[in-house]
Copies of this chain bind each other. A is one copy, B any other.
């Protein structure tokens, strides 16, 4: 993504707010793929084409902008994810949250 950006001289567009908006746009496209599917059939439908290919493309776009945003911000994304998962493991002990989604409020 860094090379792709430099070859086109697009780094000038990649300030943080613009990249977050691009990320939002791609997540919106993922949402559009799934919005009207019956919740209990979405997984089966997503395992077959045409949805399978389309979902892969849109998730790829999300990852691409996420990685680019992390690069611009000088964040080690893999390390951040491992750290966060370790932190979440401590916050939500399996014995206390077994089969229970953490409440959002």
Interface residues of A (CB under 8 A from B): 1, 4, 7-10, 12-13, 15-18, 20-37, 39-40, 42-43, 46-47, 50, 52, 54-57, 59-64, 66-67, 69-70, 72-77, 80-81, 83-85, 88-89, 92, 94, 97-102, 104-105
Contact = CB atoms under 8 A, between A and B. Distances in A.
Given A59-B75, A73-B47, A89 B4 contact: yes
Q: Which 7 A-B pairs have the closest CB atoms?
A: A28-B28, A39-B39, A36-B101, A60-B84, A60-B80, A21-B35, A25-B32
Contacts of A26: 28
Contact of A98 (B8, B43, B46, B52): B8
Given A16-B46, A20-B24, A50-B105, 15 more contacts: A10-B101, A15-B43, A16-B37, A16-B42, A22-B36, A24-B24, A25-B29, A25-B104, A28-B31, A28-B32, A32-B104, A39-B39, A56-B73, A60-B84, A66-B66
B8 A35 contact: no
